[in-house]
Chain A
Amino acid sequence: MRVQLAKRLLDRQIVDVDGRLVGRVDDIAFAVDDEGFPYVDSLLTGQRALGERIGGRVGRLLMAVADRFTDDPPVPPLRVPLSQVAHVDSAVRLRCRAADLPPSPVEAWLRRHLIERIPGSGRASG
Chain B
Amino acid sequence: MRKLFAATLGVLSAVGGFVDIGDLVAASQAGALFGMAHTWVLLAGVVGICAYAEMAGRIAAVSGRAVFDLVRERLGPRVALLNLVASWLVTVVTLAAELGGVALALQLATRVSHLFWVPLAALAVWLVLWRLRFELMERIFGLAGLALLVFAVALVALPTDWPELGQGAWQISAAGHGWPLYWFVAVALFAAAVSPYEVFFFSSGGVEERWSAADLARARSNVLIGFPVGGFLALSLVAVATVAYHPSGVSLSTLDEVARPVATALGGAGLATAVLAFFAVTFGAALETGLSAAYAAAQYFGWQWGKRVRPREAARFHSVLLVGLLLGVVMLMTTVDPVRLTEYMLVLSAVVLPLTYLPILVVANDRGYLGDRVNGRWMNLLGAVFLLLIVAASVAAIPLAIMTGMGP
Q: Which A residues contact B (CB, under 8 angstroms)?
A: 10-14, 20-24, 26, 45, 47, 50, 53-54, 58, 89-91, 104, 106-108, 110-111, 114-116, 118, 120-126
Contacts and interface: CB of A to CB of B under 8 A. Distances in A.
Interface string B123-150: 0000001111111000000000000000
Most chain A CB atoms below 10 A, which of B63, B73, B307? B73
Interface residues of B, number: 39
Given A50-B77, A90-B368, A90-B369, A106 B304 contact: no
B69 A13 contact: yes
Given A11-B76, A53-B77, A114-B315, A125 B130 contact: yes
B348 interface: no
B312 A21 contact: no
A90 B65 contact: yes
A111 B315 contact: yes
Most chain A CB atoms below 10 A, which of B77, B304, B318? B77
Interface of B: 63-65, 69, 72-73, 76-78, 80-81, 129-135, 299-305, 307-313, 315-316, 318-319, 322, 368-369
A20 B319 CA distance: 18
Contacts of A124: 307-311
B76 to A, nearest CB: 6
Nearest to A16: B304
Given A90-B65, A115-B311, A120 B130 contact: yes
Given A21-B303, A26-B77, A125-B133, A106 B311 contact: no
A14 B319 contact: no
10 contacts: A21-B303, A22-B302, A26-B77, A107-B304, A108-B315, A116-B315, A124-B307, A125-B132, A126-B133, A126-B135
Contacts of A26: 77, 302
A114 B318 CA distance: 9
Nearest to A115: B315
Contacts of B315: 107-108, 110-111, 114-116
Given A90-B369, A124-B309, A11 B72 contact: yes
A120 B63 contact: no
Contacts of B81: 54, 58
A90 B60 CA distance: 11
Enumerate the 8 nearest inter-chain pairs by beta-carbon distance, A residue then B residue, closest first.
A24-B302, A111-B315, A90-B63, A110-B315, A23-B302, A115-B315, A126-B133, A121-B311
Given A11-B72, A91-B64, A115-B311, A21 B304 contact: yes
